């Protein structure tokens, strides 16, 4: 077989996985599906979610709770047709190169799971069931209020009425719901059962690497509110010269930013709670972090070092264009995949950042002080930027970003220090030392 560059570690050509969600409504299934998809896509694993509810809504856009009553034959027929349509589309998607599909539906009976398993595995696709189970009534109600109030099923309806109807709908599901393997006759299934948002996890028959990565990722997800702060180091002496890479110290203005950073952080946190600070191992990020409060934990990660420019380390863009004109152009054409001679590509950086992302998913409040390309990759993860766009995202110096993950998407707030700095953004084809980003390119 032809050698292939690995993204997520091992991925034999023929591994295809369908993650089948299981659980009552309002158990965070869509949240889990969305997170898993984002993580996989960021790692270049073709991933997609097939939400059975969306298919069902084509025929029944605003059903009331009794649509979901198992005695309602017409409701039952329509819901089965929706599942059929979703699975059919999913199988088509696999044929066009898909690797991990997520089937987002309740799949709450043994019969339904049997049907899904047979239908999908007969196409040579591995099936892994992921059940989210929650008996913490408060958590469930919080989920109903936060998420379901905005559900397309209840558009334009009174939220209080919607919540009541939705609770009724859940009761209809509860009548037939069977947790995986509770009767011990689903022992042959590959599954992950997550109870009360990860307090307990049960894993059965996980087989290969990709399955194990997906499972490990899902185990680490939590839904406690938190934010991630991102900042580049203060302006460095190399920035002033328009040189890339290196291990320079801060410029005078960079030092000013380091002094100002504690205030920016305090303002953005809005309370006294301490953050944990991660820097790279390079002087300019460590110096930028050094005035933060002493009781903040600080940690240096080699994985947060700047993209390695190999032979071009320490050069200006003009020097690179002069000395390696073909490379310079090749990089502009496919910046995500271009690997500097003896150095790295954005793709390489993403792979080495994977443990950082895994750890961020586990953690609560983290402030990362790192470098342009690294921040772009982390930003791309949270903001779901494509591989095409992420290497061009402007990440200005002397600006603190606060990312707050929400049920759907991530919220961004920016805090500018009002300390001047050179621009290190570079447009396609440009060799300018300090070019300002195109206005539409702004974060």
Q: Does 182 bind its own copies (CB under 8 A)?
A: no
Record the tokens describing residue 159, joined without a space.
């939220």
Packing angle of the helix pair 29-42, 209-220 (nearest 10 deg): 130
HSE, CB side, 13 Å, CA atoms: give it for residue 443: 28
Active-site residue, 138 included: no
In the complex, minimum distance from the CB of residue 61 to its own copies, in angstroms, rounded to a whole number: 40
- How far is it, in rounded angstroms, from Cα 4 to Cα 399? 39
Q: Does 212 bind its own copies (CB under 8 A)?
A: yes
In the complex, minimum distance from the CB of residue 200 to its own copies, in angstroms, rounded to a whole number: 5
* Listed ranges 85-93, 204-212, 402-410, 418-426: which one lies at the site for its own copies (CB under 8 A): 204-212
Active-site residue, 435 included: no
Binding its own copies (rule: CB under 8 A), the pick from 85, 139, 176, 286 is: 286
- How far is it, in rounded angstroms, from Cα 389 to Cα 395? 13
C-beta of 141 vs 201, nearer to its own copies: 201
User: Would you list the DSSP string of 365-409?
Assistant: SEEEEE-HHHHHHHHHHHHT--TTTGGG----TTEEEEEEE-SSS
Those residues with Cβ within 8 angstroms of residue 14's Cβ, 6 or more apart along the chain or in another chain: 124
Q: Does 10 bind its own copies (CB under 8 A)?
A: yes
In the complex, minimum distance from the CB of residue 215 to its own copies, in angstroms, rounded to a whole number: 9
- How far is it, in rounded angstroms, from Cα 281 to Cα 291? 17
C-beta of 262 vs 427, nearer to its own copies: 262
Binding its own copies (rule: CB under 8 A), the pick from 61, 159, 325, 342 is: 342
**Residues in 105-124 that interact with its own copies by CB under 8 A:** none
Q: Which residues pair with 101 in a beta bridge?
A: 18, 48
Record the tokens describing residue 418, joined without a space.
């009002």
Q: Does 72 bind its own copies (CB under 8 A)?
A: no
Which H or E run includes 30? helix 29-42
Catalytic residue among 186, 255, 256, 306: 306
Q: What is the largest CA-CA distance in the chain?
A: 75
Q: Does 344 bind its own copies (CB under 8 A)?
A: yes
Record the tokens describing residue 143, joined without a space.
């989920």
C-beta of 179 vs 220, nearer to its own copies: 220
* Listed ranges 102-110, 128-136, 193-201, 418-426: which one lies at the site for its own copies (CB under 8 A): 193-201
In the complex, minimum distance from the CB of residue 408 to its own copies, in angstroms, rounded to a whole number: 26
Q: Is there a contact between 121 and 127 (Cβ–Cβ < 8 Å)? A: yes
Q: Work out the angle at residue 240's Cα, subtended by the Cα atoms of residues 239 and 244, and round it to the nearest 5 degrees.
A: 30
In the complex, minimum distance from the CB of residue 85 to its own copies, in angstroms, rounded to a whole number: 34
Q: Does 264 bind its own copies (CB under 8 A)?
A: no
Q: Is there a contact between 260 and 419 (Cβ–Cβ < 8 Å)? A: yes
Catalytic residue among 186, 233, 344, 371: 233
Which residues carry a binding-site annotation for substrate? 232-239, 284
Q: Is there a contact between 42 and 357 (Cβ–Cβ < 8 Å)? A: yes
HSE, CB side, 13 Å, CA atoms: give it for residue 217: 23
**Residues in 217-236 that interact with its own copies by CB under 8 A:** 219-220
Q: Does 297 bind its own copies (CB under 8 A)?
A: yes
- How far is it, in rounded angstroms, from Cα 94 to Cα 18? 10
Q: Does 136 bind its own copies (CB under 8 A)?
A: no
Q: Does 443 bind its own copies (CB under 8 A)?
A: no
Smallest Cα–Cα separation from 274: which of 353, 345, 364, 213?
A: 364
Which H or E run includes 130? strand 126-133
Site string for its own copies, 312-331 (x = CB under 8 A): -x------------------
Record the tokens describing residue 207, joined without a space.
């087989």
Q: Does 368 bind its own copies (CB under 8 A)?
A: no
C-beta of 36 vs 170, nearer to its own copies: 36
Q: Does 301 bind its own copies (CB under 8 A)?
A: yes
Interacting residue ranges for its own copies, rule: CB under 8 A: 1-6, 9-10, 12, 199-206, 209, 212, 216, 219-220, 245-247, 276, 279, 281, 286, 289, 294-303, 308, 313, 339, 341-342, 344, 348, 351-352, 354-355, 359, 362-363
The catalytic residues are: 233, 306
């Amino acid at each position: 077989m032809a050698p292939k560059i690995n993204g997520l570690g091992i991925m034999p050509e023929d591994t295809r996985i369908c993650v089948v969600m299981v659980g009552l409504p309002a158990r965070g299934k869509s949240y889990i599906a969305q997170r898993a998809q984002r993580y996989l896509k960021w790692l270049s694993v073709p991933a997609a979610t097939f939400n059975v509810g969306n298919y069902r809504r084509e025929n029944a856009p605003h059903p009331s709770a009794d649509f979901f009553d198992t005695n309602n034959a017409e409701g039952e027929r329509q819901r089965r047709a929706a599942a059929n349509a979703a699975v059919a589309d999913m199988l088509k998607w696999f044929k066009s190169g898909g690797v991990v599909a997520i089937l987002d539906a309740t799949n709450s009976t043994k019969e339904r799971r049997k049907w899904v398993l047979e239908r999908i595995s007969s196409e040579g696709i591995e099936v892994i069931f992921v059940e989210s189970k929650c008996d913490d009534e408060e958590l469930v109600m919080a989920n109903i209020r936060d998420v379901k109030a905005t559900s397309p099923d209840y558009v334009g309806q009174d939220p209080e009425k919607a919540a009541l109807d939705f609770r009724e709908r859940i009761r209809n599901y509860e009548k037939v719901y069977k947790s995986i393997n509770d009767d011990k006759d689903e022992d042959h299934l590959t599954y992950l059962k997550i109870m009360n948002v990860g307090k307990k996890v049960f894993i059965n028959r996980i087989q290969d690497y990709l399955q194990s990565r997906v499972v490990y990722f899902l185990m680490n997800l939590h839904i406690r509110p938190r934010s991630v702060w991102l900042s580049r180091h203060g302006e460095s002496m190399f920035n002033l010269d328009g040189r890339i890479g290196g291990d320079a110290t801060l410029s005078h203005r960079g030092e000013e930013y380091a002094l100002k950073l504690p205030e920016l952080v305090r303002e953005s946190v809005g309370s006294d709670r301490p953050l944990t600070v991660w820097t790279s191992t390079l002087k300019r990020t460590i110096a930028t972090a050094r005035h933060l409060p002493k009781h903040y934990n600080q940690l240096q990660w080699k994985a947060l070092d700047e993209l390695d420019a190999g032979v071009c380390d320490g050069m200006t863009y003009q020097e690179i264009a002069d000395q390696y004109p073909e490379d310079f152009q090749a990089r502009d054409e496919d910046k995500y995949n271009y690997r500097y001679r003896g150095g790295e590509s954005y793709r390489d950086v993403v792979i080495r950042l994977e443990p950082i992302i895994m750890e961020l998913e586990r953690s609560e409040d983290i402030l990362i002080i790192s470098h342009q390309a690294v921040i772009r990759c982390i930003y791309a993860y949270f903001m779901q930027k494509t591989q095409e766009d992420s290497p061009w995202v402007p990440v200005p110096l002397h600006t603190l970003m606060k990312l707050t993950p929400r049920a759907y998407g991530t919220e961004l707030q920016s805090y500018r220090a009002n300390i001047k700095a050179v621009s290190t953004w570079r447009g396609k084809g440009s060799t300018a030392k300090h070019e300002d980003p195109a206005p539409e390119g702004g974060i």
